[in-house]
Amino acid sequence: MKQYRYKNREEYIDAQVVRSRNKFGYCKVYFTDLVRYKRLLSLHQTRQQQPSISGAILCLGVRSGAEVDMFRATFYGPLMRLHTMQEIARRADRSKHGEEKIRLAKRLGIGSGNPHDGRVWGVEINPDAAREDIHVGSFDDLPKEWTGKFQLLYSNSFDHSVDPQRTISEWKRVAAPGAYIMIGFAPGTDASHTDPLGGMTITQMIELWQLPVVFASETLNRGGYHEICFQMS
């Protein structure tokens, strides 16, 4: 794993806000992967005789918030329990544009709840992302009242961590006992001013997180990410 060193935290935050603004309308989360995640978690819960996810979900590094709406539709939408609707979602979700994904998620997510109910939250460092269901701030400095709150955490932005151990500690803090933590990351990338972690591998992620692995893949993610899912004890 490679790390980029900033002069101070202010430089890091400024760099991340600029990066977010430059890619604000871009989202590499796909319904294909979310449906697969839900099935894998359901299979694991059945095997371990554990209850299904019914509490709060947290997405970290969400830019415009598309993945917040997509997780809400997939995990809490009655339409997305139907195999037919899952297939429609897979086929319709071809764009990387966040606004198109938000519109699709709202159509598929009828009955899944709303931004007021607190079931799905996002975190984004860019203040342009202000929504009722998005906390604006750094994902390594989360609200104190979130301790033990979330049953599922997801991020494909772990490579934006300035201090991976601080980030890991903070994400574990807000995770409920038995919660799942799913991470997607680009393989083999260099550390840079905008992406301060690079060269990550699944093996290194396991060493960093020190948690049981539920599943991992280098090939299945539609966005090209390597991905790994841990479970809190």
pLDDT at 229: 99
Which structural domain, as residue segments, surrounds residue 43? 2-231
pLDDT at 121: 98
pLDDT at 188: 80
The model's pTM is 0.96
Closest CA to 155 of 177, 176, 145, 170: 170
In this structure, are residues 94 and 59 in contact, taking their beta carbons and an 8 Å threshold?
no
pLDDT at 52: 94
For the chain, the domain total comes to 1
pLDDT at 143: 98
pLDDT at 189: 83
pLDDT at 141: 98
pLDDT tens for the chain, residues 1 to 233 = 899 999 999 999 999 999 999 999 999 999 999 999 999 999 999 999 999 999 999 999 999 999 999 999 999 999 999 999 999 999 999 999 999 999 999 999 999 998 889 999 999 999 999 899 999 999 999 999 999 999 999 999 999 999 999 999 999 999 999 999 999 999 888 999 999 999 999 999 999 999 999 999 999 999 999 999 999 99
Over 127-161, what HEC string results?
Answer: HHHCECCEEECCCCCCCHHHCCCEEEEEECCHHHC
pLDDT at 86: 96
DSSP β-bridge partners for residue 155: 183
What CATH number is attached to the domain comprising 56? 3.40.50.150
